[in-house]
Amino acid sequence: MTDTSYKGWAAAIALVLTTACGGGSSGGSTPTTPTATPTPTATAVELATITIGANGSISPSSVTVTRGGRVTIINNDSRAHDMSSDPHPEHSDCPELNQIGFLTAGQQRTSGNLNTARTCRFHDHNLPDNAGLKGSIVIQ
């Protein structure tokens, strides 16, 4: 009799353990977060604007325009800047940019039409080595 009741007791424990183990419902696959696709390429516009800030540096240093587009440079610095096409001192690369030229404090001017798909670089003719006043215009 003792033998039989022991077996029944063990079976009851085994049943409880099995039930407890089967209860886990976790472990579903964690959804992977899709990687956001950054869009670093600038949108080409017909008229881009570059500002010379009070810190004496241009922002942004690169803009993208459509073919035939133009660029306006606004001088918000407290001193004058002479914005000219590269290379210094010939300014022969993109003569359309030379139409911007000398800007007194607060003044702004727009380039001629940039008709060729290429990249035009410019600088401040009076500060040709100032990296903060060098920029590029991508014509698409």
Q: What does the binding site for Cu ion look like in residue numbers (CB under 5 A)?
A: 84, 88-89, 125
104: DSSP letter:
-
Q: Smallest gap, in angstroms, from Cβ of residue 88 to Cu ion?
A: 3
Residue among 67 and 88 whose Cβ is closer to Cu ion? 88
> Quick one: 55 or 92, whose CB is closer to Cu ion?
92
| Structure-token pair, residue 22 | 């089967």
Q: Are 82 and 75 in contact (CB under 8 A)?
A: no
Q: Whole-number minimum distance, CB 123 to Cu ion, in Å?
A: 6
Shortest spacing between CB 84 and Cu ion, in angstroms: 5
Q: For residue 91, give both structure tokens.
A: 């300014």
Identify which of residues 27 and 89 has a Cβ nearer to Cu ion in the complex. 89
Nearer to Cu ion, 64 or 91 (CB): 91
Round to whole Å and give the CA distance between 35 and 52: 36
Instruction: Provide CB contacts within 8 A for 42, sequence distance 6+.
Output: 62, 63, 64, 138
DSSP codes, 29-48: PPPPPPPP----SPPPEEEE
Q: Tell the smallest beta-carbon distance from residue 50 to Cu ion (Å).
A: 17
